[in-house]
Every structure is written in structure tokens, then in C-alpha cells.
Chain A
Amino acid sequence: MTLIFSLNYKALSLADDKRKSQEMKETLDDLNTRVSAAREANKPKKARGLNEATAYGIATRLVAELVAGIVVGVLIGWYLDRLFDTKPWLMIIMVMLGATAGITNVMRASKQLAPKDTDNKDDEK
């Protein structure tokens, strides 16, 4: 009688252990999913705050780049015109070249910034 009882008990405890480990696994899995969910929830927020700050930086950077090209073109044109007495032709040419240089600079700057943006997008996914 006692033997049966103990056997029964053993079987019960075995089943209990199995159930326990199953439960543990479930809670671990649950914890895993919750942790990764929390990480996901935190990530875009952080990135967005930083992106907005750098977006202002990028905006001022690109504008200054565009204006600086034209300014340098005007200055060189004005100086060369005074030097060779060819008003206003060299200035016209230099302003056009300066504007082109400004646009090239903007395109280069945005190309440098481009890979970072795609990285962020991948992170968010």
C-alpha cells in the first residue's frame, strides 16, 4: 500500500516537475518577448529625438553649403572683374559656377548623410 502510494507520489512529482519546467519555459519565453517588446518600444523614441536634433543640424548645414558656393562665386567674380576690367562678365560666369559648386556640395553632403538614414530605417524594422 505504501509502495503504491510512494510510486504514485513519484509519478505525480515527475509530472509536476515536467509541468514546472514547462511553465518556467513559458515564463522565460514570455519574459523574452516582453523584453524585446520593451526594447522595440524604447528604440524608435530615442532615435526620433536624436534625429530631430540632427535634422536641424542637417538643414542648417545644407543651406549654408548652398549659400557659401554662391558667395564664393560672387567674391571671385568681383575680384577678377576688378583685376581684368571686364565688368560684369566674369562675375556672371563665376556666379553660375559658384551656384553649381553649391549644389554639388549639397548633393555630396546629403550623400554622406544617406547611409545613416537607411541604417536607422533598418533598425526600426
Chain B
Amino acid sequence: MASPLDQFTVIKWADIEVAGYDISFTNSSAAMVASVVLVTLFVTLGMRKNALVPGRWQSSVEMCYEFVAKMLGDTAGPDGRKYFPFIFSLFMFVLFANLIGMLPWLHPFTFTSHIAVTFAMAAFVFIGVTLIGFITHGFKFLGFFVPHGAPWYLLLILVPIEIISYLSRPISLSVRLFANMVAGHTMLKVFGGFVVSLSALGAAGVVGAFFPLAFIVALTGLELLVACLQAYVFAMLTCLYLNDALHMH
């Protein structure tokens, strides 16, 4: 029987090598392209009619827009408005990636289940936010690492702690998304394996196989929640980090 981790294997679809770097088109890249294309289609086709009274599709696009706009406004304030396109793209990209991975047919690849992908996104956010901090505050941004009102001998311990705490942001951001997706999909596959191996045992096994099957149904619902929730958490924390860079709390 196939291992439950087989679903995370990256398969090369087309070998491409540029200047010694392997940039082959894999099933992971295909899922990313699918995510980008679907988000673009969802938003542009949904807003095509641009009606004053929105239909179902337009309404769902507007709901996504308003959700992200409210999240950004609540966490980063009015100064964060100009970063809205980035946060919106990030949220929709991760959301569609997670949801594509939940499709039961075509065996789609969940690229957010790879730490390489989530860490690349988190590192991009981290570097971008740090640059925004230095651009808006200059070298005063380094004061972010010095807690107010602490005596100098405590600063010897507190400053390294603050720096580690700042550096841990991309790690926690990427590990959370990646671990959630891996855990959920592995669990689904493990219970799916139970169904297969139980039903191979004969009539009693087939009856018994309904229990893990029922569990898979419940678990799929939970995984849909997790898929949306983790996209939200990813985008929300990006907003929070942006707020720290803009306002240095």
C-alpha cells in the first residue's frame, strides 16, 4: 500500500535548467499556476458585470475584498491601505492553494504542505516588512529591539531575546501553515488507508470500514475549516507585522 506521505512527492513534469539551477516545472509549480489562474478568473470574471446590485459570484468576490480590507484596517490602520493589493493577493493565493489541495478528484498537489514554499513566502514577507520598517523610520527602527525603561544590564539579555523573537517570525509563520497542511492531509490518507485495508478483509471488514469512512467525512469538513483558517492566520499575521513596521508600537 502507498505510504500516506506519497502525496507530498514533487514530480518533475518538464526538465528545465537555467545557468545550473534546476527550475523544472513540477506538479508543485502546476498547482501554483492553477492557484494563480483560478484566483484571477474568480476575481476578474466575478467583477465582469460590475453591477450595483451584485449577483452571487460578484458578491463572493466583494466579500473576500471586504474581509481582507477589514482585517488590514483593524490591524494596521489607515497607513496600511497601500499594502492592500499585496495582502489580498497573498491571502487569495494561500486560500486557493489550500482549497485546491482539498479537491477530491485529479489528486491535486497541496504546495502549501512544503516548508520550502511556505518559508519562501514567509521570508519574502519578513524581508519586505523589515525594509518597510527601515524606510519609514530610518535607523530609529532598531529601537524596536530595545524595550522601553529597562536598566542597561538587563538590556544585555533583553536585546538578544527581542532579536530572536523577531527572527522567529518567518519560522512560526511558515511552520504553522506547513504543519497544518501536512498533518491534515496525512491524517486523511491514513484513514483512507484504513478503509482500503479493512474492506480487503471480507464482509465483516467492509462493515467495519464504514467507521473510518465516516471519520474521513468529518475530517474533510475540519480540513476545509483549517484550509480557510490558516490562509486567514497567514494574512492576519502579515498585517500585524506590517503594523509593527509602520508604527513600532
Contact = CB atoms under 8 A, between A and B. Distances in A.
Nearest to A70: B168
B233 A105 contact: no
Q: How large is the interface on A (under 10, 10 to 19, 20 to 34, 35 or more residues)?
A: 20 to 34
A60 B176 contact: yes
B229 A57 contact: yes
B176 A64 contact: yes
A61 interface: yes
B232 A105 contact: no
Interface residues of B, number: 24
Nearest to B147: A104
A65 B169 CA distance: 8
Chain B interface main SS type: helix
A56 B226 contact: yes
Contacts of A60: 176, 179-180, 230, 233
Q: Which of B157, B162, B165, B171 has the most CB of A within 10 A?
A: B165
13 contacts: A57-B232, A64-B179, A67-B172, A69-B164, A69-B165, A71-B175, A72-B168, A94-B164, A97-B157, A97-B164, A101-B162, A102-B168, A105-B172
B95 to A, nearest CB: 14
B5 interface: no
Nearest to B236: A57
Interface string B152-188: 0000010011101101110111011001100000000
A76 B164 contact: yes
B158 to A, nearest CB: 9
A101 B162 CA distance: 7
Contacts of B45: none
Interface of B: 157, 160-162, 164-165, 167-169, 171-173, 175-176, 179-180, 225-226, 229-230, 232-233, 237, 240
Interface in A77-120: 94, 97-98, 100-102, 104-105, 112
B168 A71 contact: yes
A54 B165 CA distance: 23
Interface of A: 53-54, 56-57, 60-61, 64-65, 67-69, 71-73, 76, 94, 97-98, 100-102, 104-105, 112
Given A57-B232, A64-B175, A105 B157 contact: no
A76 B166 CA distance: 13
A69 B230 CA distance: 20
A61 B161 contact: no
A56 B161 contact: no
Contact of A104 (B165, B173, B176): B165
B233 A101 contact: no
Contacts of B168: 65, 68-69, 71-72, 98, 101-102, 105
Q: Which of A65, A68, A76, A94 has the most CB of B within 10 A?
A: A68
